[in-house]
Amino acid sequence: MATHDVRITVNGEPQAAAVESRLLLVHWLREVLRLTGTHIGCDTTHCGACTVLLDGEPVKSCTVLAVQADGREVTTVEGLEHDGTLHPLQEGFQQEHGLQCGFCTPGMLMTGRALLERNADPSEAEIRQAISGNLCRCTGYVNIVKSIEYAAAKLR
């Protein structure tokens, strides 16, 4: 069983680890670092519950090997809040009822964060396009769009 020494910055903190070749990034985050905010919904690259930022871009962490993140930066939902203050996106999801069961929420937040970094004032269509790889079974998306709009307005 081949292992590799990797250095990955997670939520701003450098981590060093020996990972097996086949270890998926999502499993390393959840099971080794115990960052369980990143969810596993489908495990077949469809749902986006496992979305994290890899060097700032949202990707499905169930379809990236941990070793592929060597030397790179990963941001998970745990990296959004700072010193007890929620990120405007988290606040938006609270204010606009952007979640019901909450299972899709970590992925939605990370995709939303990457969108707002690129586009400070996205239209509804742009928001819907950006989150089209993140499935929600509860909300019907309307309030998720409003939550992201709330955050965009607050960040501007």
Partner 1 sequence: MIPSAFDYHAPGTLEEAVALLERLGDDAKVLSGGQSLLPLLKLRLGDAGHLVDIGRIPGLTDITEADGYLRIGGTAREADLERSDLIREKYPILLDTAAVIADPLVRNRATVGGNLAHGDPANDHPATMLALGAEVVARGPDGERTIPITGFFTGLFATALAPAEILTEIRIPVPPPRSGGAYVKLERKVGDFATAAAAAQVTLGEQGEIVRVGIGLTNAGPTPIKATAAERYLQRRQPDAEAVAAAAQLAADATSPSADRRGSVEYKRDMARVLTGRAITRAVQRAGGQ
Ligand X SMILES: Cc1cc2nc3c(=O)[nH]c(=O)nc-3n(C[C@H](O)[C@H](O)[C@H](O)COP(=O)(O)OP(=O)(O)OC[C@H]3O[C@@H](n4cnc5c(N)ncnc54)[C@H](O)[C@@H]3O)c2cc1C
Spatial strand order of the sheet with 3-10 comes to: 13-20, 3-10, 73-75, 51-54, 57-60
Decide whether 22 or 46 has the Cβ nearer to ligand X: 46
Backbone phi, psi, residue 79, to 5°: -85, 0
Decide if residue 40 touches ligand FES (CB under 6 A).
Answer: yes
Residues in the chain: 156
Closest distance to ligand FES from the beta carbon of 140 (Å): 9
Closest distance to ligand X from the beta carbon of 85 (Å): 35
List CB contacts of 31: < 8 A, sequence separation 6 or more: none
Dihedral of CA atoms 93, 47, 60, 126 in degrees, nearest 10, equals -60
Q: Please choose, out of 50-58, 76-84, 137-145, 147-155, the segment that lies near partner 1 by the rule CB under 8 A.
A: 50-58
Closest distance to ligand FES from the beta carbon of 107 (Å): 8
Q: Please choose, out of 19-27, 84-92, 94-102, 136-144, the segment that lies near partner 1 by the rule CB under 8 A.
A: 19-27
Residue indicated by tokens 């929600």 = 136
Closest distance to ligand FES from the beta carbon of 63 (Å): 6
Q: Which two tokens stand for residue 23?
A: 């270890």
Decide if residue 68 touches ligand FES (CB under 6 A).
Answer: no
Assess contact for 15 and 76: CB atoms under 8 A: no
CA distances (Å), 28 to each of 18, 88, 105, in order?
10, 27, 20
Residues of this chain that interact with ligand FES (CB under 6 A) are 40-43, 45-50, 60, 62, 99-104, 136-139
Residues of this chain that interact with partner 1 (CB under 8 A) are 1-2, 4, 20-22, 24, 27, 43-46, 48, 51, 54, 57-60, 62-65, 67-68, 70, 111, 129-130, 132-134
Residues of this chain that interact with ligand X (CB under 6 A) are 45-46
